[in-house]
Structure 1
Amino acid sequence: MLHGRFDEGGRSESTDLSVSGIYQISKVLMASTRLEITLTNVVNILSSMLEMHHGAIVVLDDENEPVISTTAGVTPSPQSGGGRAIPQTIIDEIVATGAPVVIPDASKSELCQADLQTSASDGVIPGSFIGVPVKAERKILGTLSIVRLRGDATSFPHDEDVRFLTMVANLVGQTIWLHRTRGVDGRQLPEEQGRREKFPDSERNDNGGRLPAKIDWIVGESPAVKQVLAIVSAVAPTNTTVLLRGESGTGKEFFAQAIHELSRRRTKPFVKLNCAALPESVLESELFGHEKGAYTGAISQRAGRFELANGGTLLLDEIGEISPAFQAKLLRVLQEGELERVGGTRTLKVDVRLICATNKNLETAVANGEFRADLYYRINVVPIVLPPLRDRPGDIARLARVFLKRFNKENGRELAFAPSALDLVSQCRFPGNVRELENCIRRTATLAQSTTIVPSDFACRNSQCLSSLLWKGTDGSNDGPAIDEFSTRRAGASQGELSSKACDPNDSGCPATGARLTERERLIDAMEKSGWVQAKAARLLRLTPRQVGYALRRHQIEVKKF
């Protein structure tokens, strides 16, 4: 099995290991590489995690014949059917039943004998065989299997292995389906492109509704955005649960709307809820609804967001912020597709396509016992990582024009950017991402002195850009700020130097003046001004005491005591 022990908190170590494995496999499956390479990497990860004799992923064609076979461990013998990764008889059984196949002792099974007789020459006697179907869109696309080492899994139940391998197989199935419908770079495969060229005016989904030709609310031509849109276009027609991940302000709600609009459910409601904005008691009522008199203030019956989204799509934003107690309630609804209103007894069936979004590191949350592993597996079917704005600098000017056009329309103005103004804004790194860029453009447009916006209209040229403090003091990452990483590692500056993107040229600390301070010098200066009191220094640097403490240790600065 994955592992059998429990830590001091009573949490199974297999949970941590399986979460780590799913996370690593998800990253591999998101890579833009040939399918054979991607699947080989997946099997190699499994081999590094599990004590197994060998593992294999077999991809089948429409006639259930293997077209791709990737293995790790002992190479199967030619006697197993032309060098197949696993015997065809087992493949046929998995395909026919659509269910896992478990053989407790593979060395005694006639199905596995041909595959294992010669491979046992390495002195390692195989144990149990576990194979699961690889599915997508209700179709079996292949198989995922492992052969355990004797003495490892044969004396234990196999439920945990089957559950883990099934989750991996689901991720693999979505990747295979994505590669079959679209190229790894987002371009349509020849057969799909030919179909669209043949029927250009009849592009329809399974319900007969015409698909929108353009997602005009998402602006971007950078490779990072195009890759995300390719995944969105591929996953949208399915009912697969999607997990949108990325920093705050990267536009998770807009991409969720794109998935809905490109799906078969687009004529049905698109309902959204920010889970972090409500306490647990209110959140339960908002999602599941309540009956009249269920609690004080419930003066009438009310349908919840799940009911309102029936037949459509439900976006649960900030999913990582819900409490463990409510996670259990949510998991039941996701598993059973049914719920009961607060204060009610009648069970209601719902058909909802779920999209979740978070800027939280869920893997760390699961490892710390803050987020249920079973809920993590349920929502992390197809993870989509949205790129921060600093990774798509070519889109900044394009987005700025869109936001200014929107401002003009709303306010009856006719403002325009001078080329130098667009050059300036394109150099900014915007730790608040697209949301911060829009706010910057609106503020600048509101206070502009003429119909042409010039560099001097921007707050950063007038020592009024509060975001510059973030650039000098945080890294903009999801793992918590650090005093020097954003301005060095991500701004491309030399280690320890301040970023020149956000400072006022009249400031003595601005690199443009030649009086460039290192982060270590800024930290020491703040500590000296505050009498070496970390809390006071933190206020001067606009950081938290924890961040200052981290920076002191990082730079090996000894705190003076008086």
Structure 2
Amino acid sequence: MATGDREQARRELVEAELEALYHVGQVLARSLDLRETLQAVLEVLHEQVGVHSGMVALRDPIRGESIVRALHGRVPPEEVSYRPGEGVVGEILAAGETVVIHRIADDPRFLDRLGLYAAELPFIGVPIRAPGEGEPPIGVLAAQPSSADAGMLAERARLMEMVANLVAQTVRLASRVGSEQAALADERDQLRREIQGCYGFENIVGRSAPIRRVFEQVRRVAPWSVTVLLRGESGTGKELIANAIHYNSPRADAPFVKLNCAALPDSLLESELFGHEKGAFTGAVQSRTGRFEQADGGTLFLDEMGDISPAFQAKLLRVLQEGELERLGGSRTRRVDVRVLAATNRDLEAAVADGSFREDLYYRLNVVALRMPALRERLEDLPELAGFLASRIGAEQGRELTVTDSALRALMRYRWPGNVRELENVLQRAAMTRSRSSSSGSLGSGAAGWVQAKAARLLGMTPRQVAYRIKTFNIPLKEL
């Protein structure tokens, strides 16, 4: 080739290389899927600068070998690897230096385990160096130029070194992201196991016949995706049972989303459940997914279902029947796969009779009904419940708390209209009467020195309220 022609070819190659480097930068910024990104880099080298049969091998930090992770135009064979010093690739990994072979057939180091390369053509391999001085290469970038022109090999090797430097940053970033994702996944799985442990049947306190019947029903319905209606007075633990159903079901690894329907007016309830599009109403500055979409594949717990308006009941019915919804302000129909657990303390049959609750929605929700017994119906569980709650309150306060026999006798004589929630509130207030400096104590003793006015101040109540509780619980008074 004449000198002028060679210079023209070199200029054209340099221009192509600059264009290729630009596209490599774009490719590396596009995705954190490492294999997909490396394949795209090899495609740029193949299409734009005539460097073919590209290969990337990355060092396994545990084994120390370089394992082929990407090949141009094909999926890498499983477990094709090179030990440091083994073959050309292993030599590059060990020495950290670029290797240029003018003719593969003349170099006995070349192993050609991949069966890709033409023996009569050159081969270039460059180290993928980790940022920082003295660190060993993290891999090798190798390819075969389409021309045997020795004068162009140095230029192509320089280009591949620049590409390898760009690739190194992406590999390290992907490795760091992968490590963080693995750590997050481990933490998620650990938290999931802890949550599932917290909501196992053995952690729901109670041995009475009414609560055992509930446990048996939960065991039967948990494996299936049927809608469950949890009924019972406020404070009986309907949400706790909903948790048990979800975390003992095949959907346990999917989202468990909750919403108290009574806490929101219709306009906000629709947005919360179905989501909204940007501009759907004043203040909707961006689109938002609703609880149904958030729970897709998992479970949605709708508390206080009996309090939603008849107008909204019709909108909810469609989602339950068809599994379809539109976001507020949108027209696109979205499908969701959600198991619904609903809870109410209302008499839905009476609500259907007086027209305040749709009959078709009632039957859609009432596929399986579980009734939570009131605490007064299972007073035999009260000592165990009180002990469990006292222990939990004590743990929160960093001390040991127990319930005295006299306090238990008083608790057993009460009717508990607020059920377990009221019991917990009473024990929390009783715990406040214990000295904060005390490392342990028994709930039921006098910490206010038997002075009702002082007890009222400690509890944040009026003396009249304290006197009412003393009478209600039949607490004996001490004469001072």
Shorter-chain TM-score tier: 0.5 to 0.7
Amino acid at match of 1:455: G
Structure whose CA Rg is larger: 2
Give per-residue Cα distances to partners, 1:90-114, cap 9 Å, x unaligned: xxxxxxxxxxxxxxxxxxxxxxxxx
The aligned runs of 1:112-511 (5 Å cut-off) are 214-449=200-435, 451-457=440-446, 501-503=472-474
Deviation at 1:453, TM superposition (A): 1.9
Amino acid at match of 2:241: F
Judged with a 3 Å threshold, the aligned counterparts in structure 2 of structure 1 residues 348 and 265 are, in CA distance, closer, same or farther, namely same
Deviation at 1:461, TM superposition (A): 11
Amino acid at match of 2:389: F
Deviation at 1:448, TM superposition (A): 1.8
Amino acid at match of 1:370: S
Other structure's SS at 1:364 match: helix
Amino acid at match of 2:442: I
Deviation at 1:503, TM superposition (A): 4.9
In structure 1, C-alpha distance between the alignment counterparts of 2:451 and 2:320, rounded to whole Å: 51
Amino acid at match of 1:453: S
Other structure's SS at 1:311 match: coil
Q: How many residues align?
A: 271
Superposition TM-score, scaled by structure 1 size? 0.45
Amino acid at match of 2:345: N
Deviation at 1:500, TM superposition (A): 7.2
Root-mean-square deviation (Å)? 3.1
2:298–2:339 CA contact under 8 A, matched in 1? yes
Give per-residue Cα distances to partners, 1:205-232, cap 9 Å, x unaligned: xxxxxx9693244211111111001001
Other structure's SS at 2:423 match: helix
Q: Which has the higher contact order (CA 8 A, sep 6+)?
A: 2
Judged with a 3 Å threshold, the aligned counterparts in structure 2 of structure 1 residues 268 and 294 are, in CA distance, closer, same or farther, namely same
2:201–2:215 CA contact under 8 A, matched in 1? no
Superposition TM-score, scaled by structure 2 size? 0.52
Judged with a 3 Å threshold, the aligned counterparts in structure 2 of structure 1 residues 341 and 461 are, in CA distance, closer, same or farther, namely farther
In structure 1, C-alpha distance between the alignment counterparts of 2:291 and 2:212, rounded to whole Å: 31
Q: 2:94 aligns to what?
A: none
Deviation at 1:246, TM superposition (A): 0.3
Amino acid at match of 2:433: L
Deviation at 1:407, TM superposition (A): 1.6
2:403–2:444 CA contact under 8 A, matched in 1? no
1:408–1:415 CA contact under 8 A, matched in 2? yes
In structure 2, C-alpha distance between the alignment counterparts of 1:294 and 1:304, rounded to whole Å: 14
Deviation at 1:416, TM superposition (A): 2.6
Amino acid at match of 1:422: L
1:243–1:356 CA contact under 8 A, matched in 2? yes
In structure 2, C-alpha distance between the alignment counterparts of 1:292 and 1:448, rounded to whole Å: 53
Give per-residue Cα distances to partners, 1:223-247, cap 9 Å, x unaligned: 1111001001101101111000000
Other structure's SS at 1:392 match: helix
Deviation at 1:404, TM superposition (A): 1.6
Judged with a 3 Å threshold, the aligned counterparts in structure 2 of structure 1 residues 298 and 397 are, in CA distance, closer, same or farther, namely same
Amino acid at match of 2:206: G
Other structure's SS at 2:233 match: coil
Judged with a 3 Å threshold, the aligned counterparts in structure 2 of structure 1 residues 311 and 422 are, in CA distance, closer, same or farther, namely same
Give per-residue Cα distances to partners, 1:174-203, cap 9 Å, x unaligned: xxxxxxxxxxxxxxxxxxxxxxxxxxxxxx
In structure 1, C-alpha distance between the alignment counterparts of 2:476 and 2:398, rounded to whole Å: 34
Give per-residue Cα distances to partners, 1:305-355, cap 9 Å, x unaligned: 000000111011000100000000000111110000001111100000011
1:217–1:254 CA contact under 8 A, matched in 2? no
In structure 2, C-alpha distance between the alignment counterparts of 1:391 and 1:260, rounded to whole Å: 26
2:431–2:443 CA contact under 8 A, matched in 1? no
Amino acid at match of 1:502: F
Give per-residue Cα distances to partners, 1:390-416, cap 9 Å, x unaligned: 111121111112112112221212233
Amino acid at match of 1:433: N
Judged with a 3 Å threshold, the aligned counterparts in structure 2 of structure 1 residues 433 and 293 are, in CA distance, closer, same or farther, namely same
In structure 2, C-alpha distance between the alignment counterparts of 1:415 and 1:457, rounded to whole Å: 14
Q: What percent identity do the matched residue pairs reach?
A: 55
1:225–1:387 CA contact under 8 A, matched in 2? yes
2:410–2:474 CA contact under 8 A, matched in 1? no
1:444–1:457 CA contact under 8 A, matched in 2? no
2:200–2:248 CA contact under 8 A, matched in 1? no
2:413–2:473 CA contact under 8 A, matched in 1? no
Give per-residue Cα distances to partners, 1:279-304, cap 9 Å, x unaligned: 10000000000011110111111000
1:270–1:312 CA contact under 8 A, matched in 2? yes
Other structure's SS at 1:315 match: strand
Amino acid at match of 2:220: A
1:420–1:454 CA contact under 8 A, matched in 2? no
Other structure's SS at 2:236 match: coil
In structure 1, C-alpha distance between the alignment counterparts of 2:356 and 2:320, rounded to whole Å: 19
Amino acid at match of 2:444: P
Deviation at 1:454, TM superposition (A): 5.0
1:290–1:302 CA contact under 8 A, matched in 2? yes
Other structure's SS at 2:201 match: coil
In structure 2, C-alpha distance between the alignment counterparts of 1:335 and 1:302, rounded to whole Å: 23
In structure 2, C-alpha distance between the alignment counterparts of 1:382 and 1:500, rounded to whole Å: 41
Deviation at 1:431, TM superposition (A): 1.1
1:289–1:303 CA contact under 8 A, matched in 2? yes
2:401–2:442 CA contact under 8 A, matched in 1? yes
1:290–1:343 CA contact under 8 A, matched in 2? yes
In structure 1, C-alpha distance between the alignment counterparts of 2:349 and 2:237, rounded to whole Å: 22
